[in-house]
Chain A
Amino acid sequence: MFKAVLADSRIWKNVIDSISTLVEEGVFIADPSGIRLRAMDPSRVAMVDMELPKAAFESYDCAQEMPIGVNFDDMKNIMKRTGSNEKLELEKLDEEARLKIRFKGKSSRTFSLPLLDLGKEELSAPRISFNATLKIPANTLMEAIKDAEVVSDFVKITAEDNQMKIAASGDRGEVDVVITKESGELLSVEQKEGAHALYSLTYLSKMMAASSLSEIAVLMFSTDMPMRLDFNPSSGGKIVYYLAPRMEAE
């Protein structure tokens, strides 16, 4: 059996929002060390890689590996019902194809979610090495994405000379956002060489759902390679996204 208690139910709500933004269903793997999930979006352009270790929970009990197949729309609707100052208890008995989701605050409310039999094929993470690693406030990245959305469906991200540029152009106009270390917005930058690549704004803005979990985003990429975007909640665990690039127009 599997039983885990989170001190703040909103953490799980945010985790579910960060996953459901890309995928409709997936399989959590619970094992003695914690819960993880890796899933690809239906068009195979982006991937979410989530981990919540045992330490992130108030109490955690799972004797052996257990797949928990979930429809995220359904789980999201349940998690919408939680308020502040509630604990969350997740429980699955071995023989039951249901997950009990219990909110414990002023009252105790228990939802029972039917689970999906999706097997337990685990995806591996993509193998990429990154030339540039940029650490920026999630909010700054979100604003830059919103700026770019005004004029285009995709964006060019450039890292050179220790600054980050986010540029977009289309029939509706052009926009350039420059984020520098001097302004304090670029928290850190490591780069082996200059890097530039195009990414779809549709996916980028979906991935910003995880900004509710962490105020800082770590963006890694190389020229014309997939981007990796990390959110590391202070309560422990990680939400990592991978996004395949768009190719430059011929």
Chain B
Amino acid sequence: MGVNLRDLVTPVAVSLEELKGKVVAIDGYNALYQFLAIIRQPDGTPLKDSRGRITSHLSGIFYRTANLLEAGVKPVYVFDGKPPELKTKEIEKRIEVKERAAVEYKAALERGDMVAARKAAQATSKLTGEMVGQAKDVLVALGVPWIQAPSEGEAQATFMTKKGDAWATVSQDYDSLLFGAPRLIRNLTISGRRKLPNKPVYIDIEPEIVRLEDVLLELKITRDQLIDIGILLGTDFNPDGFKGIGPKKALKAIEEFGSLKAALEQKKVEADPTLDVEAIRDIFLNPKTTDDYRLEWGGINGNAVKEILCGSFDFSPERIEAALHRIEKETKELKKQSSLEKWF
């Protein structure tokens, strides 16, 4: 589920106003999974249309993207392509987690334990190719660009941020820092009131920004060393990490030996013999990316939005129209002010 750098970084709150006019490259799969996990009824049932099809992802992509557009932010969604082969283990692990969660969900419902049911249900979220296609249709109708990454979406989004085509990479995971994203924004697509897991308590989730430069300065390490720390903790390409190593020990090992390679050579940390550290480092240092994309915000096609959401998926026309009305001014403005894109 991505590398866990939470204990090593100090995020700073960022408001939507500060992002006005800026391009943000959003990890599309990550956002859709968040929508599927969060947008559910109290007992864990996802939103569905009259034919029983799940619509949580569409509700999320429409309303959350609309919030960004209303604030004058210019979002671009980046979707995963073919995963690197090293990710197979992580993908198998995710399937297993989902299967276990599905069993637990059923059991919790039978017990009548709604809190446990919702928690388990969140972990069962499955994102199909069809659902991704539906979300892309909504983006097209909203005039918001999306990009197909050759491999990892976060790597592509980060490539665009490094190049200056986007101001920040948006994801809940920290992996984009390992890919070298100068700025990572978390909680952007899920900001607002959210229920704490397992407690009937609501908290406000605020977008926050993590700057790679600050992380490296604070920890007094290089990006290469940050990648090593990530591998010690576990990434999508070695989900189990190193046995008995948490954030503090990982940082200490890198401080002491300079690199994971040196720590391994001196037998200060022990790796699973099948682990190819260099291959994982290579994914973060030289990921597959493409510069074959265009970033244009083409204005909104309200009828197309309504056709998809209200026509096909039974969303309330009043609510969709109210949201479209809210973003009318900003999207018109977006369309009026052209970007330089067309002239390259």
Contact = CB atoms under 8 A, between A and B. Distances in A.
Contact of A45 (B167, B335, B337): B337
19 contacts: A25-B164, A39-B164, A40-B340, A43-B339, A44-B340, A45-B339, A97-B222, A114-B217, A116-B182, A116-B213, A118-B163, A119-B162, A119-B180, A123-B163, A127-B344, A200-B337, A226-B343, A242-B343, A244-B339
Interface in A36-79: 39-40, 42-47, 71
Given A23-B164, A40-B165, A116-B213, A247 B338 contact: yes
Interface in B251-310: 291, 295
A250 B187 CA distance: 37
Given A44-B341, A45-B337, A244-B339, 7 more contacts: A26-B164, A43-B22, A114-B217, A121-B163, A121-B291, A126-B344, A244-B342
B21 A123 contact: no
A124 interface: yes
A106 to B, nearest CB: 31
A39 B223 CA distance: 23
A246 B343 contact: no
Contacts of B180: 117, 119
B23 A43 contact: yes
**Which of B162, B223, B291, B337 gathers the greatest number of chain A CB atoms within 10 Å?**
B337
A interface majority secondary structure: loop
A244 B337 contact: yes
A23 B182 CA distance: 13
A118 B223 CA distance: 11
A156 B222 CA distance: 49
Contacts of A123: 163-164
A241 B295 CA distance: 20
B136 interface: no
Given A43-B22, A126-B343, A118 B337 contact: no
Interface in A186-216: 200
A245 interface: yes
Interface of A: 23-26, 39-40, 42-47, 71, 97, 114, 116-119, 121, 123-124, 126-128, 200, 225-226, 242, 244-247, 249
A200 B334 CA distance: 12
Question: In the complex, which range does the number of interface residues on chain B fall in?
Answer: 20 to 34
B119 interface: no
Contacts of A244: 337-340, 342-343
A127 B23 CA distance: 22
A235 B183 CA distance: 36
B74 interface: yes
Given A43-B74, A247-B335, A71 B213 contact: yes
B6 interface: no
Interface in B190-232: 213, 217, 222-223
A170 B291 CA distance: 40
Contacts of A225: 343
Contact of A44 (B217, B223, B339): B339
A154 to B, nearest CB: 9
A45 B335 CA distance: 12
Contacts of A44: 23, 74, 165, 295, 339-341
Contacts of B342: 244
Interface string B299-327: 00000000000000000000000000000
Nearest to B73: A43
B82 interface: no
Contacts of B222: 97
B317 to A, nearest CB: 25
A90 to B, nearest CB: 20
Nearest to A124: B344
A44 B23 CA distance: 8
B333 to A, nearest CB: 9
Interface in B138-191: 162-167, 180, 182
Contact of A47 (B23, B336, B340): B340
A79 B45 CA distance: 58
Given A26-B164, A116-B213, A117-B180, A43 B21 contact: yes
B24 to A, nearest CB: 9
Nearest to B342: A244
B165 to A, nearest CB: 7
